[in-house]
Amino acid sequence: MSGNAKDRLIVALDVPTMLEAAGIVESLGDEVSFYKIGHQLAFVGGLDLARELKAAGKSVFLDMKLLDIDNTIAKGVENIARLGVDMLTLHAYPKAMAAAVEAAKGTDLTLLGVTVLTSMDDKDLSEAGYHDDAATLVLKRARQAARIGMGGIVCSAEEAEPVREIVGENMAVVTPGIRLADGEAGDQKRVVTPDVAIRSGASHLVVGRPIVAAADRRTAARQFLNQIETAQSA
C-alpha cells in the first residue's frame, strides 16, 4: 500500500448539494487527494463531480453499497468502471461479490465489500435477523470476499487487525468511523482514532464531518494526515 498519507485519507463529501461539495474540494486544495461520493451527492450530480475530480488528478471512492440480482450488479459495475473511479462498494453478499468481480475483470476498479455498517452494533444486527454478532459477521464476510477475489473490505477499524490477517497484505481495508481522540462520535457506534486504525492494518481511512464541518478544513485534514504519518513511522 502507498506510504503517502494523502493516498490513505479519503474525505467523504456527504453533503446535499454540488455547490457545497465543490466548496469543500476547493477549500481543501492540494491537502486532500482522495474523495468519497455517496448516495446523498450521487443523485444531485455527484457522478459528474466524480468525472471532474478524476480529470483534476484526484482519486474517487464511489460509495454506492450495491446489492441486487447478479445481472443487475454486473451491468451496474460495468458502467461504473467506465467512469474511471478508483473504488466502488457493494454489500458483501457472496453472489453479489462474485458477479461484480467478473464484471470488473480487466479494469482498474477496486471493488470493496461492505461487511457491517459502523452505525450498527450487535443489538442492531439481532433486530435485523442476523444470528452472528458484528465481529463474527465481519470476519465471515472478509473470508468470503478474499476467496471470491474482491479488491478490499470496508469494516470498522475495531475489526481491522483480524480482517488484515484474513485478507493478507494485497487487499484494501477501508475503515470509516474515524475520529480524533476528542472528536464526537455522531451516529457512529464503532469508532477508532486514525493512528490506531493504521496500526491495526487499515489501508484507507474515511473521514467526513470532522473535516467537512470544521471551521478550518485544511487544518482539520492535516490533523488526520499527521496521525497517519506518525502511525506509519512507528
pLDDT digits (tens, 9 = 90+) for 2-33: 578 999 999 999 999 999 999 999 999 999 99
- Alpha-carbon distance of 131 to 97, in angstroms, equals 21
- Alpha-carbon distance of 97 to 139, in angstroms, equals 15
Give the pLDDT band of residue 40 (cuts 50, 70, 90). Answer: very high
Note the pLDDT tens digit of each residue in 69-94. Answer: 999 999 999 999 999 999 999 999 99
Note the pLDDT tens digit of each residue in 142-194. Answer: 999 999 999 999 998 888 999 999 999 999 999 998 988 775 545 444 568 99
Give the number of residues written for the chain. Answer: 234
In a domain, 234, yes or no: no
Q: Tell me if 64 is assigned to a ligand binding site.
A: yes
CATH number of the domain enclosing 128: 3.20.20.70
pLDDT of residue 12: 97
Please calculate the CA angle 105-107-111 and round it to the nearest 5 degrees: 75
Which of 74, 67, 156, 80 is closest to 115 using CA atoms? 156
Rg (C-alpha) for the chain, rounded Å, is 17
Non-local CB neighbours of 105 within 8 Å, separated by 6+ positions? none
End-to-end CA, the chain: 16
Which residues does the annotation mark as catalytic?
63, 65, 68
In a domain, 233, yes or no: no
In a domain, 161, yes or no: yes
For helices 160-167 and 134-148, the axis angle rounded to 10 degrees is 20
Q: Tell me if 82 is assigned to a ligand binding site.
A: no
CA distances from 137 to 34, 101, 164, 173, 187 (A): 28, 21, 15, 16, 21
Domain that holds residue 152: 5-223
- Alpha-carbon distance of 156 to 190, in angstroms, equals 6
Give the pLDDT band of residue 233 (cuts 50, 70, 90). Answer: confident
Q: Which secondary-structure segment (H or E) carries 61?
A: strand 59-66
In a domain, 122, yes or no: yes
Total domain count for the chain? 1
Residue 213: helix, strand or coil by DSSP? coil
In a domain, 230, yes or no: no
pTM: 0.92
In a domain, 103, yes or no: yes
In a domain, 193, yes or no: yes
Q: Tell me if 166 is assigned to a ligand binding site.
A: no
Q: Tell me if 69 is assigned to a ligand binding site.
A: yes
Of 184 and 45, the structure prediction assigns the larger pLDDT to 45
pLDDT of residue 188: 45
pLDDT mean over 129-135: 85
In a domain, 58, yes or no: yes
